[in-house]
Structure 1
């Protein structure tokens, strides 16, 4: 009997140590689903352009409709998590993305396709924030930087597999049928979330670090005041936006068309080379996050890796001749260098009171993802402005290698600007830099009604 009791205790102990990671993994799965939906237009660019008879400017706008919902929703997403908890919100968000995907699949007009992309962005806006929120609830604070990097790495893995799957599926069954599997996957994922995810550990009670005490409207506005009046938050968001351009503009949308046009690659070759950027990102995100946690520095990894990424991007875009075989190594290193950008989320968290970490990380993500809103359509517009190639047989513009080089110059220029701005970041040393007066605003005693004095 004592041995059986010890075995039960051991099993329970193992379960308690694994279960938090199971819950955080549910958030990561939703982020993977988000990544599939985000990168799919880049693979389907010729098919979508022909289906809706659109130019590069219109295609960039169609893809950007995802960001038109995704980016501004980062702020209310964080506040919604802070107020209502993760479980129900994450499940509902997944279902909204599924509805958007079903509209996109059945779209027979550009307007309907844009509506679908908008709803996809609306639902998936909760994915990454939800993952980080779960990590801040269920895991020790020292794991936050690693989880931020690991979540991005897992999402990048999904992006790689998504591109390969879609490239094969487009040749056999078409883009609409190819997306039906994703539709079923989204429904299954929403069920998994509602079954497994819980808002907080059962042993967690109200304390200074209770992340789930609902905030009233006054406290929400106070949280926004603290975040938006902090100059470091604006700097963190802008730097993150610029350092993320290789993903939000190049990798997510224009990278595969660029490789096919400039290097005359087949779709399979272009996807394979592009996937090496994902591989570099996958490897570096958790490594750089763990190193940052170990050395207790955030700014140094951001600046050092960003500098090398800018050099490699300039080499890709402006070098007269690059051997195709060398592109694999170059794109891998670009991804590796860009893997430090999740540290911006850790910086956002550490520059604000822990009780509003969801809102702080959401604001950071909103500013970072603004790159897709601004620059995906800009690249399309620059392509249309720069092209002098003849119209194709189907009546659509064609784009030469020089057109893509000109339009995509915004990427290395943006990364270079991000490096310059990073020198103005204040190091947090992996510790909270929040003012004590701001921390007290959100302590439980401030949430409780005042007690009337007893009359003597």
Structure 2
């Protein structure tokens, strides 16, 4: 374990919960905000990208989905790497990868180049949320974990709300994709530097809290990954939260376009209206985390939230165009109930070994992003299929409504999955070990 620079020795001597812990956490949390802005950037100029690159709904969905194809599988590696190396170097490297992806995106003129840019952005962004939660898990007491996981998510969704406005300023009117990408890459360089200097190495007492007297070696970390993969309820929590996350994947790529097609909302007003969805999530994540920490209950809130999130998706699909003003009420309420998914992260950490907590959190995020990537592609292909079946060359509002109803039906699965989660008596993850080769009880 490396010794801390002088500026961090006081907080290390204090233990978890020092006031400066908020500063340490804030920089990775702001990096997650930045990453979220990068994630939603294409949604503001989807028609322009389709036209410039001569792509259909399915084609642009496949190119943009490359973000999730990198993000999702990297979650397994992110968890292992964080448990092995800590967050400082990894988060700085992740920000640098985002800068490279933005530079490639600035000059993109084809679907392949756009997909490459999104792939690199997904690779770098994979460290953002899990890295920030991991930092909070180290520097704060464990009884604040759900609240901080929710607060971190809330910071990111604040980026989605303000990001709509910021991106319109950055890209200009009419949107200039290349100019916007270069500006965002400059911001990324600032994060590379800030993360390196603001996030300290892991303190010695973190090893004591995880039950280890020495830093994790690779063998022990891989054993932790194996224990997570062999834990039945971790899979149930992860898949349940993944289905709850579907509206977020939809919103980041199709949201404003959906409002324009279904409710006749103007292309300028639609992004502002859809920002209310992120307002709901941004408020809901820390509130749900606080309620969960205070009550000590995770699973009941996840079950109720899953049911409400599916209902909210169905309601959005059936709002008639003549009652479009109802979207101003439904969107924030929908976002608020969807935010319950954030409780899956602390629940997964609590179901597993303490020294594999980072891996468990990352695994839940892995499943969420894997499903998100599939949804981005499948939704585009689905509405293309529905439109062609109705003889339409371009998808209309009815096609988008049908697609949303299909998503609502899929999301019902989350209710069943969370009901099947087994909360072990005592603190033994092995009580719920899968009966598979290599998974010892």
The 1:137–1:407 alpha-carbon spacing in structure 2 relative to 1, beyond 3 Å, is same
* Corresponding position of 1:419: 415
| CA distance in structure 2 between the partners assigned to 1:253 and 1:170 by the alignment | 19
Higher mean displacement: 330-339 or 304-313: 304-313
* Corresponding position of 2:186: 184
| CA distance in structure 2 between the partners assigned to 1:86 and 1:373 by the alignment | 25
After TM superposition, give the deviation of residue 170 of structure 1 in Å.
Answer: 4.3
| CA distance in structure 2 between the partners assigned to 1:213 and 1:120 by the alignment | 34
SS at match of 1:340: helix
On the 8 A contact 1:298/1:428 being kept in 2, the answer is: no
Q: TM-score under structure 1 normalisation? A: 0.86
| CA distance in structure 2 between the partners assigned to 1:433 and 1:288 by the alignment | 26
* Corresponding position of 2:402: 406
After TM superposition, give the deviation of residue 358 of structure 1 in Å.
Answer: 1.0
Kindly report which structure 2 residues correspond to 1:97-136, keeping only aligned pairs within 5 A, or say none: 97-136=98-137
On the 8 A contact 2:245/2:372 being kept in 1, the answer is: no
Larger Rg: 1
After TM superposition, give the deviation of residue 212 of structure 1 in Å.
Answer: 9.4
1:114-137 alpha-carbon deviations (Å, 9 max, x no partner): 111101100110111101110111
On the 8 A contact 1:153/1:282 being kept in 2, the answer is: yes
The 1:84–1:265 alpha-carbon spacing in structure 2 relative to 1, beyond 3 Å, is same
| CA distance in structure 1 between the partners assigned to 2:88 and 2:106 by the alignment | 28
| CA distance in structure 2 between the partners assigned to 1:311 and 1:382 by the alignment | 20
The 1:252–1:205 alpha-carbon spacing in structure 2 relative to 1, beyond 3 Å, is closer
Kindly report which structure 2 residues correspond to 1:299-318, keeping only aligned pairs within 5 A, or say none: 299-318=299-318
SS at match of 2:102: helix
1:179-212 alpha-carbon deviations (Å, 9 max, x no partner): 32211111001111111110224x6374252689
On the 8 A contact 2:96/2:188 being kept in 1, the answer is: yes
How many equivalent pairs are there? 421
| CA distance in structure 1 between the partners assigned to 2:211 and 2:43 by the alignment | 41
* Corresponding position of 2:264: 264
The 1:319–1:428 alpha-carbon spacing in structure 2 relative to 1, beyond 3 Å, is farther
The 1:80–1:322 alpha-carbon spacing in structure 2 relative to 1, beyond 3 Å, is farther
The 1:335–1:360 alpha-carbon spacing in structure 2 relative to 1, beyond 3 Å, is same
Higher mean displacement: 17-26 or 65-74: 17-26
1:43-100 alpha-carbon deviations (Å, 9 max, x no partner): 1201111111100111111111001100000011111111111111110011001101
On the 8 A contact 1:298/1:343 being kept in 2, the answer is: yes
On the 8 A contact 2:263/2:320 being kept in 1, the answer is: no
Kindly report which structure 2 residues correspond to 1:19-30, keeping only aligned pairs within 5 A, or say none: 19-30=20-31
* Corresponding position of 1:199: 201
* Corresponding position of 1:443: none
| CA distance in structure 2 between the partners assigned to 1:72 and 1:199 by the alignment | 26
| CA distance in structure 2 between the partners assigned to 1:18 and 1:62 by the alignment | 43
SS at match of 2:178: helix
| CA distance in structure 2 between the partners assigned to 1:287 and 1:105 by the alignment | 38
* Corresponding position of 1:452: none
On the 8 A contact 1:351/1:434 being kept in 2, the answer is: yes
After TM superposition, give the deviation of residue 318 of structure 1 in Å.
Answer: 2.6
On the 8 A contact 2:168/2:175 being kept in 1, the answer is: no
After TM superposition, give the deviation of residue 218 of structure 1 in Å.
Answer: 3.0
After TM superposition, give the deviation of residue 373 of structure 1 in Å.
Answer: 1.7
The 1:343–1:213 alpha-carbon spacing in structure 2 relative to 1, beyond 3 Å, is farther
| CA distance in structure 2 between the partners assigned to 1:22 and 1:238 by the alignment | 33
After TM superposition, give the deviation of residue 20 of structure 1 in Å.
Answer: 0.8
On the 8 A contact 2:313/2:405 being kept in 1, the answer is: no
Q: TM-score under structure 2 normalisation? A: 0.89
On the 8 A contact 1:86/1:130 being kept in 2, the answer is: yes
The 1:205–1:351 alpha-carbon spacing in structure 2 relative to 1, beyond 3 Å, is closer
After TM superposition, give the deviation of residue 16 of structure 1 in Å.
Answer: 7.9
SS at match of 1:75: helix
On the 8 A contact 1:238/1:367 being kept in 2, the answer is: yes
On the 8 A contact 1:145/1:346 being kept in 2, the answer is: yes
After TM superposition, give the deviation of residue 255 of structure 1 in Å.
Answer: 1.2
The 1:151–1:212 alpha-carbon spacing in structure 2 relative to 1, beyond 3 Å, is farther
On the 8 A contact 2:238/2:368 being kept in 1, the answer is: yes
After TM superposition, give the deviation of residue 174 of structure 1 in Å.
Answer: 1.5
On the 8 A contact 1:303/1:419 being kept in 2, the answer is: yes
SS at match of 2:304: helix
After TM superposition, give the deviation of residue 224 of structure 1 in Å.
Answer: 2.3
The 1:281–1:433 alpha-carbon spacing in structure 2 relative to 1, beyond 3 Å, is farther
